[in-house]
Each structure stands twice: as C-alpha cells, then as structure tokens.
Structure 1
Amino acid sequence: MSAPIESKLHHKMDRPDSDNLLDRTAQGVISAPLDRPEGPLKVTGRATYADEDHPDDIAHGVLARATIGRGWVVGMNTAEVRAMPGVLDVIRDPRLLRSPAQGQAARAPVQNPAEIFYVGQPVALVVAETLEQARHAAQAIRATYEAREPVALVDGQDYAAPPGKQASQGDLDAAMTDAAHRIDVTYTTPAMSHASMEPHAAVASWNGNRLTVRCSNQMLKHNVAELADSLGIRAKNVRILSQYVGGGFGSKLGISHESVAAAIAAKRLGRPVSVALHRRTVFEATMRRSETRQRVRLACGADGRLTGVGHEVWVSNLKGETFSEPVTQATPFTYAGENRVIGHHVARVNQTTAGSMRAPGEAVGVPIMECAMDELAEAAGIDPVELRILNVPDSDPSTGKDFSSNRLADCLRAGAEAFGWSQRRQPGQRREGEWLIGLGMASAVRVNMLEESEASVILLPDGTARVETDMTDIGTGSYAILTQIAAEALGLPMDRVTTVLGDSDLPPASGSGGSFGAASSGSAVMLAAQAIRMQLAKRLGCDEAELTLKDGAAIAGNRVTPLAEVLDGDTLKGNGLIQPGKAEKSTRQASWGAQFAEVAVSALTGEVRLRRLEATFACGRILNEKTARSQCLGGMTFGIGSALTEEVMNDPRDGHFVNRDMAEYHIPANLDVPAMTVTFLPDRDPYANPMQAKGIGELACCGTAGAIVNAIHNATGIRVRDFPVTVDKLLDRLP
C-alpha cells in the first residue's frame, strides 16, 4: 500500500461554530441509539483488561503497606522475606511511596523517601513467581517505624487562616439582616470511594530502554508524562496501553502505585511484572473524595428573589497536594443574588490523596445548595420549582459573562410536568400504610469544558476507514461515539469503520475525565474526517460544503461516485486537532438538568425506598442516545449512593479506613435502584465545540442526591443535613 496522502485540520474555538457539519451530513448514524462495537468482546470476556493476557514468564508483585498514620520507616525484615518460597525480590524504592497523580499533571509529587503520611501507604514491593507467593510474602513484611501523632480527622483543625480560594461581592451580612426570608445552615458529606469494578492493575515490560505498561488509566498523554517523571526516564521511552478500562470515575485519571511498582520491578528482574491491587489497597492507597462541611446562607425578598448567596466549604487533602474538592464550582453562576460570599478552606490530614471523583465539586456541592434552596422555599412559602425558575440569572452573576446556553428553566418546567410535580403535598401529609410518601426535586448543573485533542482518520482504498487516537473508553461508549462521528462525516455504514483507542503511541487525545472526553476527542475525529472530505471534494471538483457522502458513495454535481472509484487506489489520511479558545473564555458554559424523586419512608423502621427517579437534561447535541442515557443512569445511580448509602469511615485514632471493601462500603445494588426515566431536551451550543455537544455523564449525578434528600424531608418532615441519610438519622425523629 502506498503512503497515505495526508492533510490536517486545526481548529481553535475562538468563535461559535457556524459550519454545522453534523447537521448537513446524510448517513444518519449520529445521535442514533446504536450498540457499542466492542460490546460483544466485553460480554464474552474477550476484551483484554489491564491484568489479563499475561506473558509466560511473568512475575507477580504485591505491595506491602504502612501500618501507622504518620512517621518514618527505619527498618524492615527484607532478608527474611527474600528467603521465602518463590520470592524473587523485595524492593524498597522511594518512588513507591509517592502519591497517585491527579492526571493532567506533568509530574508526580516527590516526597521524603522513608516518610509515611497515611495508613496503607506502600512501603515495599514483594515480587514472586506466583501471585499467591507474593501475597503471602507481602503479608510477612514487618517494618519498624519512628512514629508521630497523625492528624486523623478534619474536626478540630484551625480554620482561622485565610481560605485558599474566596470570592465575594456586595454585603452578604447586610443582605441576610434585611431579608424577608433567610436560612443559615450547615451540611456535611462524607469521604467516598470510587469503587470501580476493575481494580487498579498494571503489567510492565522493558525492551531495552523502552517501557510498555498495560494498565487501567484514563488520560494517556498525561499518564505517560507522569510515569516518565516518576521513574526518571524520558517520556518518549514510555508506552501505555489501556484499550479497555473497567471504570475509573477519576481514580485512574493519573498513574498510581501499581504502574510505578511494576515498571521498577520489571527493570530489576529483566522480565514482565504484574502488580494488581487488592480491593483494600484500592480503597486505602489510591484516591478518595474528600469529606466536606458546607455552610450555606441564602437571603431573599418577599417575592422570593435571591439577594444573598453564601457558600463556604471545608475539605481536606494530604500534605503537599494542590488539588482540593472544588465544591463551589457551580455556585457562582447557578442562581442570581447580588450579595455573595464563596469560601474554600483546606485542611491537611494523614489520609490517602483526595482527588477527583465523578463530577468533582458539583457532585457534593450542588446537592447541598439544592437542599438549602428547598429550605428557603419552605421558609418563604414558595414552590421549590418556582423559586428556582425565579432565580435563574440572565448572565453569570459573578462575572457578567453571557451564558453560551442556559436551559435550566426549560429543564425545570419540562421535568416538573413530566414527573407530576403538581401532586406534591406538604411535608408528612401523604401516607400509604406504614409508608410515608414524599416528592423532591433539584436542579442539576455541571461546568462544560473543551480540552486539546488530536485524532487521525484513515480512508483506505476499499472505502473502509480507521480512527486512531489514544482516547480511552472507561465504560462510557468512546468506541461507539467516535465510530459514529467518523461514519457520519465520511458517509459510511458503521461496520465499515474501525476505531483503535487506548495506545499512547497514537495521536494524543483529551482522555476521559471532566465530561470533556466525548466532545473533545469527538471534535478531533470530526475534524480529521472533515480534512478527508476536503480532499475528496477537491478530487470531485466541488466545495466541501457541496459534497454529500452516504453509504460509501460521494454525491456531487448530481453524480454518484463510489468512494473506491474516487480514491483510485490511494489512501487518504486526515489529522484533526481541536483546541479551546476565546469562545470558552468569553462565555459561561454549562450543562443543565432537573431531577425529581419519589421516596417511601417506613414510619416504623426508617427504611428509605426510592420509588421513582426522573431527570430532564439539556446538554447539547446527543451523539448516541443509548450511551448517553446509559451515562445518565450511571450518574443517577451515583447520586443514589451519595444520598443513601456511601460513606468512607475513618478511625479517629490514626485515620485508617474502617470499611475498606465492597462488603462494608455500600454502593447501590439492584434493589436500591428503581426504574429511572431520562429525557433529553433538543439542544445545541455552538460555543462549546464544532459538534455543538456537551458533557453529560457527570451532570446526571449532580442533582440526584439533593432531589432524594428533599423527597425524604417531604415524606417525613425531617431535614437531615448529614449525608448519607441512613436509618439511624431518621429513626428517633419519625412522626
């Protein structure tokens, strides 16, 4: 095959999209609820995840971990453990102690080689011929320490120091004093764990100075830089493979201990090494979502219009980490109110790194604000939906920027009508036998982002195409969506397009995170395909806008020509690059939604049963209705866990995780999740990207917990301000 004829299309989002390519294509696969191309591989077990497809000579590594919350390692029985059956090496390397990277970082934090910051921190790697031998030997590791008193919990820390982030305008104190109606409440949410189905794992091998790691990661172009920095090697000598990722939710944005450990061991032993984390290690040593304490102050006039908004939060993280849960991310622009104080305080504790977890910020900030809005609605005697609609701002109150699109009021009205909100009664007024019935609602909002992303699309002489990018699929449908975009732009049936992902040697994509993955990587694929369209149009003597591609044929000037004939034996390659630009900076961009819940609470036991959960979303162009709905169902299930079950518990003496497995950390199971309804409003946002699509997966969990907790209040009259709402928080307060 001759070398491809290449062209490149680079687009910077400096102005709103006016081309509307996906509205003038003809194949009809975009937005359709199509199946995932890799689906059969996954359900039959043929999709290769991180710790599968082992080479014959592989060795297995298990991390030995610290048993104290703070101090230094001063000794270890390494000689004794090296003599155990099957043990190949006991590796004590300062690089093993580093915290997981957050993703989008060029380097991992460097820490004192022997210093311990939390219970469960890796202190050594035991490598053996079999996993069983390695696990047994790791359990035999005995470290001696010079211990210090850990800072186990946030409570009691001094927050008098200036907050890390704060924004204010007007005079909130005066607004609170002068308000016709006001609330001043404090809510708490617990630390949470990502609990991905696939634990963190890595298989590393070296070919000379070239390292290849098959692992479970979300953002490969950043992960390559992070791993190279952690190992002290050049990024060009690192290749990462993550073709299939069994869930990440933020815990796999950056590299973690297993990749570094496997790479170090493989280099020392001269053979491939697998390091797969035990579920307890995942809980204790990768990432957590920070607990939060949130003080919300709201003031409004007699007409219900907000005059003051206060949202001050307290979160925690490990010493030296720059990330902190951005709880107030949506507060500045969701509702009006000319007087406002938004504060952010960070405590340093001896617990594993607090990092991004699905919808960081809004997932814990929006539900609390929505509960507070419900409290204000009750104080003012105004319907909760109407209070929110009344306070949807015309522009971002904190910056004055126009919204690129704001469909919150539309979502609230459409959602209320579909749910039957008019049937809601006053708190505690509806009962069916022992069950108290309540309805609740909440707005949903999530910032929208675009990240730089690259992709290549190759159109082969036989009229088939291949998409190449290092984008990952973490269960979100990337294979399906990117295939659809290329198929639509090139006028090909889906089965004539192959998408190759998850290899860092391919063009660097945005990665999966922040709900920017589909929009960013998809825009790059669309641009690459558009570059090919331009080459085809030139061959046919027409403008690209006049070209129609459908079912493997080109239509121009009333003539239909098979693509194979247009190509005439040539291979065309398009390279697409999308970058954020002035359009993002000049407008406030967000995705919007409204969520409604019906609960039944037992008046005898306090058990909460979620009966209905319905949501209406506006999030730009829907790229695949089936995968989009699936993302929403997953996000809403996340919200159920946040409202009712999920909570990491720490021992107050040393901060260690008490419930560090799936038996004691309660994620929603089948019987906890009712039938859920998702409705998408027709929407476009030309400021977002050339496809006019927006992020969706994280949006769905942003309001869910608030709607459920508000429904519990409507059922019982009990206002619980400490998430999750477990039986013990209701039982002695039931009517």
Structure 2
Amino acid sequence: MKFDTPATTNPIDQLKVVGQPIQRIDGQLKTTGRAMYAYEWHDQTTPCAYGYPVGAAVAKGQINEIDVAAAKKSPGVIAVVTTLDVGERGKGKFNTANLFGGSKIQHYHQAIAVVVAETFEQARAAAALVKVDYTAEEGVFDLTAAVRDSVKPKDAGGAPTDSAVGDFDAAFREAAVTLEETYKTPDQSHSMMEPHASIAAWDGDELTLWTSSQMIDWWRSDLATTLGVDKEKIHLMSPFIGGGFGGKLFLRVDAVLAAFGAKAAKRPVKVALPRPFMANNTTHRPATSQRIRIGAEKNGKITAIGHESWSGDQPGGQLEAATLQTRLLYAGENRMTAMRLATLDLPEGNAMRAPGEAPGLMALEIAMDEMAEKLGLDPVEFRIINDTQVDPEKPERPFSHRDLNGCLKLGAETFGWNGRGKPGTRREGNWLIGTGVAAAFRNNMVLPSGARVRLDNEGIVTVETDMTDIGTGSYTIIAQTAAEMMGVTMDKVAVQLGDSRFPVSAGSGGQFGANSSTSGVYAACVKLREAITQKLGFNSEDAVFEGGQVRSGNRSVPLAGSAGPEGLVGEDTMQWGNLTETHQQSTFGAHFVEVGVDVATGETRIRRMLAVCAAGRILNPITARSQVIGAMTMGVGGALTEELAVDTRRGLFVNHDLAGYEVPVHADIPHQEVIFMDETDPMSSPMKAKGIGELGLCGVSAAIANAIYNATGVRARHYPVTLDKLIGGLPEVA
C-alpha cells in the first residue's frame, strides 16, 4: 500500500480499541520475569559458554602483537579469538568505526579480543591475562581545540548542512534588539538498563542470534557484511529490549564477538558488554558548541535568526544536527544555520534520543528566554508572537498541522504561569523558587513498514512483523490496530515481534516506530479484509468488521467461520508518497518546570513538571504518557547531571559506569503531568498519528535552565547546570 493522499474516514476512526487507555499486553510478562531478554535465552541441551571482551587500552594506534598464551591456559577457557585472528573485515553501512577485525585502533575500548570459557567468571579472569603490544599515536580528544580544524560535511543525516534565507548579516546588524551567545552541551551516554547483549549459535553455516536490537533488518545486513556471510543465513531475534534510546539502532560488537566466539567454541556463546564498554565502545551523543544570534523589532517580532553548531566524531562520522529545529520552529524573514564537524578520536558519536533537536533546543530555548528578557516580553508571549504556520525557509510549504501556540497557552494556564515573578524574588526558607518554559519540537518521520496478519478458524488474529519494542508499547498499539481493523477484542489478537523471519518493519527509533509500524499493520489488515470478503463473496467496499462478525448488506458471518481450516493471511508493506514534501510534518509541545535552588549550596531540586504535546492522534494514552514522562526524566538528567567527562590526554570517558555517570533516580523526580492535545493529522498516515517518545525530551533541559535563572538570576549556558556554575552568583541573591 502506498500512502500518497491524505487519509479520509477509515476503520481506525471508530476508536473502539485504538486511542483507548489499554494496559500493556506485555506488562505481565515483564513484571513476573517471564519476558526473555537477549542474555536469558538458552537451550538446556546445549549449554551456553560465556564470552568476555577485551578492549583497547589506547585510543589511537596499531596493535603489534596479542599474546593469548596465558589466557588459553586459564581454567575453563574454551577459545580465544583476537582481532588479528579475524583480520580486516568489511564495515557495516551504519558503523563509523570498525567493530572488530584488523590491527588499527580507532578509539579507546575498541574490541580487540573475546575470551570464551565455561563460566562468566572464568572468561573475565582469563581476559585479564591477555597481553597486547601497541604502538600508540597522538589523538585529538578536545572538541574546543578541534573546532578550528572543523569542516563542512556533505550533509547532516540527509538534510543540507547549511541553510540561508534573506540577508541574515544585514538584518542582524540593523535589528533594534539583538542577542549573541554561545551555549555548550556535553557528551552523553544512553545508559539504558539492559546492557548490549547477544547469544550466538551456529548450525553449519547458519547463524541464530538472540540480541538486543532496535532495528532487526539493519543489524542483520551489517552483521552479514562484518562476518562475510549471506544475509539469508542469519536468523536474528529480539523480542524484548530493556531500553535503547538510539544506542541499539546500529549493530554493536557484542553480536559480532558472540558470533566469532561461537564459531571458535563450536557451541552457543553469550556476550554482554560490561558497563564501561557501553560508554567507550558503543555510541554516545556528541558534545556541541552552539552560537546563536537573534535580532528583533522592539515589538518582539524576530527579523534575523542565526544558529551555528560544532560537534565532533571519528573521521567520516556523524554530525550532531543541532540547528535543524531552528530552520522550522520560529518565524523570521532573514535566517542562517550552519553545522561543522571536527575530527575526534573519541568513541563513535551517533543517535541518542531526539538527535539534533534535543541538544539544539537546549541552546535555542535558553536564547529565546534571554531575548524575551531583553525585549521586556513574557517568554510565552515572545514565542507566540513568532509562531508560523508555514515552513519559514519555504513559505509555499505549510505545516500539515501545527498547534504550538495552543500548547503554550494551555500549558501556561494549567501550570499557573502568571504567578511567575522576576528572577531571584521568590523564596521559601532556604529555597529560591523559579519557573521556566521551553517549546518542544521534533520532526515527524516515517519509514516503510511491513507486516503479516493471519486469521485462524478460531477467530484469532496473529500479527507478525520484525518491529521491536524497546519499552515503548509496540506490542500493545500493534494489537490495538489489528483489533480495530478486524473488528475483534484485544484478547483475540496475538502479536509476535522482533524476528527476522517476519516482514521487515520500520523498527524502533527516530520517533518513527509507532506511526510507521501500525500503518504497516493497517496495510496488512486491509489485505486480510480483502481476502475474507472475496472468500465470502461480499462487497469489500461496504463490508463491516465488528463484534467478531463480518457483515455486508443483510448477510452476517462469524469472522472465525470465514477463515476455513487453513486460515487466511494478509501481508503488505506501507510505502510513503510525497506528502512530506508538500507539507512540513512535525510534532510540537510546551514544557513548564518549577525548581527550587538552595541559596547556600546551589543544589537544584525539580518541584513539578508539565508537558503539553501536539502529536496527532494518540494511539494509546497510557503508553504515550509513559513515553513522555520517561523523556521528561531524561531531560532532567540532561539539565542537571549527565556528562561524559573526557580525559583529553588519553582519549576516554572516565566516568564510564552508573556510579560516575549520574542519571536521575526516583527521588529526583516529582509530580509530572502530561496533556495531549486533541488532534489528528490526516497528512501523516492512515492512523492520523505521529511520534511522541522523543518530543517529550525536546526542550525539557532548557525549561529547567530557564527556571533556575528565574529562581536565582544566574544564567547558565553550559550544561549540565551543576552547582559550581551557580554558587558564585548566589551570595548576592541570598
């Protein structure tokens, strides 16, 4: 099916199941421990051996020799495979640095060997006995120093690196009120609960891999390239994932090491990356340095807006596209954005929840508050004044649906924004109280997504797709879609996900998963409905699927009775037309936060949070709210605690565990309220929905930083906003 015209009335609009607050169908499996995650699969007849990785102790250089003699003699050791043993390997499409193979070291903790033993403890002990002779090379590890040598890449994830409309320089120079500031965001770690883990088992030349992957087909293709085998010989399964946040979008070395280890050991091997490897071996969100310039008339209308960003990565790596939202979020006739990439020899940078917009809004939404103060305008009012219903860079292209102003107005009313007060004027005992706001923005993306839907003679509808559930609720919203389309209750639907034998889906990432995958299920259900009506001799145009029955005219047949002994199958893939080219499709929101800051220590406490989101039809308000409050919590970490500290001499992240890299815990998070705007977007998909899971993060950190300023009068422009950045200005306020 191809979606190339706006959606009209369809079975989803009944909203008997879709859009209802249905509890997650996988919830009981997870809360009772019966959901099998990657490291837990096992075959009792062939017990797994354990693999433990060895990582490079230098950040850049060459391996001269790897001595594994002592490791091989260690108790319980079955096999040792080194990067020199496997030699140079093809690199997957989605990997910047080589995962495994050859003598070149590109970053600290790059995998250079795997030790396989009977127990985990034996493998770990033997791995410590591997001796490596390196020739270390000088590397570049400091973004600030590397910026002067940064270059303009060919693109920013498919988007132009630079953009320009009008004459920004002249408009900024002539503006009545101007702002020019630099903001910095740090390297950040995904820090998901479940580590990167895989179990590999060979049967001749065929590989079965249980792993923790957001994107089944991407992994399968890249693993085939790395191993040098036919993709069709790889069976990959990932039915449950304990968090990903983008860190499991792309093939990681646990899968590669498990595959090589299992081949050498001639038995199944499981590998889980130790927590330090998750910071230094896998991907992370790159740091940015951002320069923002805004010019406006005295009435608050923006006349010039410029946003430049610098980030770093491995040679040929990825930009952190931090200026993309600035091209679309606010009006202004004269505009300029630019992004540059510095070469760094740090571990690979890549997508982390809301790549681009999350760090970009951390800067832009502070700048908007600073500009509002210069203009003497309320920050909410300033944003409303500069709303636009068309793409500011392409005025001929309207937004498919945009209600940012509605989010801001409803949020301000609900939160009690009018009682805000001037910076440093509200106090409760030792706590200075402040409130802050920020706009939320995230583009609506869709990818082709396939599914297969089966109907058996007992009326059970089974959905099969390689879509994944990273804790987002995919199982539930896919079941709701099938139930709505086939006119059955949820207990008549079974959902099977995360298996490469199923049709290729969009996968989970980029906020495209829910809308794309349910649209694929919609398309497959249309095929199944056609097969049923054809078999029954019904007119498919007027057939109604409802209450477990199929009706056409004055005839009604039980759905189960239409399947026959062999059952019926519908399979299709949702493809996308050019509606994203004719209409800009985005999601919007507004975040409001109240904080308290201790006048003596600078300690910041979040007191309350509100998110108002406009993201098309909400497929399930329970799972959607869960996504938003999780994202809001992540925004607290980004604002106050999260930073991968770089050792700029040796090229590694020194706080590479959950003791040193601090994420928010329950005690850090107070009451969170989420409001969804009542809307649909027929331009987006037949579901009339959009993504929500990353919108909930975008803007949160800036709202917190703005609230801290309102509380203290101290403006922090470098994240995280730790107490050392505040305490110098507090005595005067206190």
Q: Is residue 45 of structure 2 the alignment partner of residue 50 of structure 1?
A: no
| Within-5 A mapping of 1:227-376 | 227-321=223-317, 323-376=318-371
CA shift at 1:93, angstroms? 2.6
Aligned-partner Cα distance in 1 for 2:96–2:341: 22
Q: How does 1:488-499 map to 2 (within 5 A)?
A: 488-499=484-495
1:537 shift after superposition:
3.4
Q: Is the 8 A contact 2:29 2:35 kept in 1?
A: yes
Q: Provide the residue aligned with 1:39 in structure 2.
A: 27
RMSD over aligned Cα atoms: 1.9
Cα offsets for 1:23-73 (capped at 9, x unmatched): 1x47x1111111111111111111110011323432111111111121111
Rounded Cα–Cα distance in structure 1 between residues aligned with 2:294 and 2:230? 52
**Does structure 1 conserve the Cα–Cα contact (< 8 Å) formed by 2:17 and 2:484?**
yes
| 1:491-528 alpha-carbon deviations (Å, 9 max, x no partner) | 11111100000101111101000011111110010111
How does 1:138-149 map onto structure 2 within 5 Å? 138-149=127-138
Does residue 667 (structure 1) correspond to residue 655 (structure 2)? The answer is: no
- More displaced stretch, 337-346 vs 90-99: 90-99
Q: Aligned residue for 1:159?
A: 148
- 2:79 is aligned with 1:89: yes
**Partner amino acid, structure 1, of 2:102:** P
Q: Structure 1: how far apart are the matches of 2:91 and 2:384?
A: 40
Q: How far did residue 571 of structure 1 move?
A: 1.4
> Any idea what SS the aligned residue of 2:436 has?
strand
Q: CA deviation at 1:546?
A: 2.6
Query: Does structure 1 residue 178 correspond to structure 2 residue 174?
Result: yes
Scaled by the length of structure 2, the TM-score of the pair is: 0.95
Greater CA deviation, 146-155 or 282-291?
146-155
Q: Which residue pairs with 1:629 in the alignment?
A: 625
643 and 106 in structure 1: CA distance in 2 versus 1, 3 angstrom threshold: closer
Question: 1:196 maps to which residue?
Answer: 192
State the distance in 1 between where 2:6 and 2:597 align. 48
- Give the match's secondary structure for 2:476: helix
Deviation at 1:284, TM superposition (A): 1.3
**Alpha-carbon shift at residue 158 of structure 1 (Å):** 4.7
Asked if the contact 1:98/1:109 (under 8 Å) is kept, the reply is: no
Name the structure 2 match of 1:80: 70
TM-score after normalising by structure 1: 0.95
1:650–1:138 distance in 2 versus 1, CA, 3 Å: same
1:116 CA drift (Å): 1.1
Distance 2:97 2:294 in 1: 40
CA shift for structure 1 position 557: 2.1
Alignment of 1:520-559 (within 5 A): 520-539=516-535, 541-559=537-555
Residues 157 and 567 of structure 1: CA distance in aligned 2, closer, same or farther (over 3 Å): closer
Distance 1:35 1:710, change over 3 A: same
Aligned partner of 1:597 in structure 2 is 593
Q: Distance in 2 between matches of 1:585 and 1:261?
A: 42
Q: Unpaired runs of 5+ in structure 2? A: 154-160
Structure 1 residues 242 and 97: alpha-carbon distance in aligned structure 2, compared to 1, 3 A threshold: farther
Aligned to 1:694: 690
Q: How far apart, in 2, do the equivalents of 1:106 and 1:608 lie?
A: 38
Structure 1 unaligned segments of length 5 or more: list them.
1-9
Match of 2:206 among 210, 214, 217: 210
Aligned residues: 721
AA matched with 2:626: S
Evaluate the alpha carbon distance shift between residue 240 and residue 112 of structure 1 in structure 2; reply closer, same or farther with a 3 A threshold.
closer
Closer, same or farther in 2 for the Cα pair 1:161/1:105, shift >3 Å?
closer
Answer whether contact 1:99 1:256 (CA < 8 A) is retained.
no
2-side partners of 1:192 and 1:538: how far apart?
Answer: 54
Are residues 302 and 479 of structure 1, via their aligned partners in 2, closer, same or farther at CA, if it must alter by over 3 Å? same
**Matched residue SS, 2:510:** coil
- Seen in structure 2, the aligned counterparts of structure 1 residues 158 and 483 have a Cα distance that, compared at 3 Å, is closer
8 Å Cα contact 1:21/1:691 also seen in 2: no
In structure 1, distance between residues paired with 2:352 and 2:210 = 23
Over 3 Å counting, the alpha-carbon distance change for 1:567 and 1:130 in structure 2 is closer
- Looking at both structures, which has the greater relative contact order when contacts are Cα pairs under 8 Å and sequence separation is at least 6? 1
Give the AA of the match of 1:436: L
Shift of 1:561: 3.0
Deviation per CA, 1:219-252, whole angstroms, max 9, x where unpaired? 0011110100011111111111101000010010
1:425 matched to 2:413: no
The match for 1:391 is 386
Question: In the alignment, is residue 59 of structure 1 matched against residue 53 of structure 2?
Answer: no
CA contact (8 A) 1:107 1:230 kept: no
Relative to 1, partners in 2 of residues 1:568 and 1:656: Cα closer, same or farther, differing over 3 Å?
Answer: closer
3-state SS of 1:250 partner: coil
Secondary structure of the residue aligned to 1:445 is: strand
Q: Which amino acid in 1 is paired with 2:513? A: G
For the residues of structure 2 that align with 1:111 and 1:175, how far apart are their CA atoms? 51
Q: CA separation in 2, counterparts of 1:162 and 1:280?
A: 31
Matched residue SS, 1:334: coil
Does structure 1 residue 646 correspond to structure 2 residue 642?
yes
Q: Secondary structure at the match of 2:655?
A: coil
Task: Report the Cα distance in structure 2 between the residues aligned to 1:597 and 1:548, rounded to whole angstroms.
Answer: 47
Once residues 711 and 89 of structure 2 are traced to their aligned partners in structure 1, the CA distance between those partners, rounded to angstroms, is 44
Name the CA distance, whole Å, in 2 between partners of 1:118 and 1:470. Answer: 32
Verify the 8 A CA contact 1:159 1:345 in the aligned structure 2.
no
Q: Does 1:136 align with 2:130?
A: no
**Matched-pair contact (CA < 8 Å) for 1:151–1:654:** no
Output the CA distance in 2 between the equivalents of 1:728 and 1:438.
19
